[in-house]
Structure 1
């Protein structure tokens, strides 16, 4: 097993779903087969940003042929997690040793390769750079004896991604559910500006912590990923209704109320019954996850 970088572009002609499947031609088959059971890093351009960036990680589960297109294959992925910041491939002198010549110039032959195998040290450096930012609004954590502390004074900051591999191995932390939940929540709250997409509510406590929650559209326990595109910011009550199928979302981001609702909640929602989602397409809920929610959770 070996780690690798996979090139991905939002408007690619390939049949990609970030964190779910990666579509590629046969020329890269031998490389991707080496990654099965190990982790890959997403890399490529980002809308409205100049340059190319590492943006997230996923684990390669298996490789299968494309039944509709000759000499093409799919890598099935799991465990996707967005970085909490875009990592420029050239920062700090560059993370991939073979990408740069001794004089610092880019190795053109290497840079055009859509699949690039990584040394463990290169993978570790990229992961540390992408998951190092602490949460600006961590959840409140009570310490022993905190029952006599005034509300809000038991707050502690989320620990950043630990750099000492001996103390806390990278892979162990990538698989750690509390760590992943915290990163998912951090990313969703940030891109939605701590505002509920369905109601427009933006309730903030005295320490700047938002009331809004990060909701998985397709829950992790049902095969959903921790991708930003599988998330949406919702206030507590709306999150409860969304998880129970009393509200859902169309591909055009129209809010869909269930006929099983025994109470008119329209006054709680945006008047035009449309969710407010990020402007950038790569940050919006993906139709793949929205369709799953409508088909599997929504009470029509």
Structure 2
């Protein structure tokens, strides 16, 4: 396949592009700086600039653009950046494809489990209704931008959970645990949807050739509470958890970001992905953490 990819310089995109190329696919990358060689093409989402000929002949378009959710604090200015860094690139790609006589057959567009909001004691899946809050509103607008793609293009919304990797959202948990500051966050009973980096990459590759469309949950098949997640890191690293972080302190110190990133309760199962035949290498949080912690 020929794939045009955007926003792939980060934690997920880098190994994903390497995997696709090693599998024999041709991957052209959209970059905002000046191109440095073959396979790179300039675009400017802020200015609405994308040469449509770059997408001609592509079998699929992959978009993982977006500023990091894990960066805090969420000031008003940064909330605008979180929104615009997702909406502008996604809309530009979708509208460019809509203007083509022969658009790509597949559009894999980044999304997130934040759309479900805080849903204590509710078991959720891909098709559960959206929740409330800043992240739910952001993800809804993100997916609406992707929906501007032409009807002939299969659109997949990659609703990704917290990725267990050496960087990204789980990195602070690993670092704090390593230096004997491992913690239980709030009650510890809230569910954190998680997925290993390896399975995240493999799931996206799987969806390139699947018939699935619409929202797809990318999360591990065994839901885990935040207590189980932090305990998995403590056990794998051989460290205690001595410093509990009460919910009031998290809300006071981190504000809205602390609530959404650490305290929201989202018990989520990847029903559509599993029914489509995808198999996980890391089915439990302990499997995923051991893969990150081991040399």
Answer 1 or 2: which has greater helix percent.
2
Answer 1 or 2: which has greater strand percent.
1
**TM-score with structure 1 setting the length:** 0.27
**TM-score with structure 2 setting the length:** 0.28
Higher RCO (Cα < 8 Å, 6 or more apart): 2
Q: Which has the larger radius of gyration?
A: 1
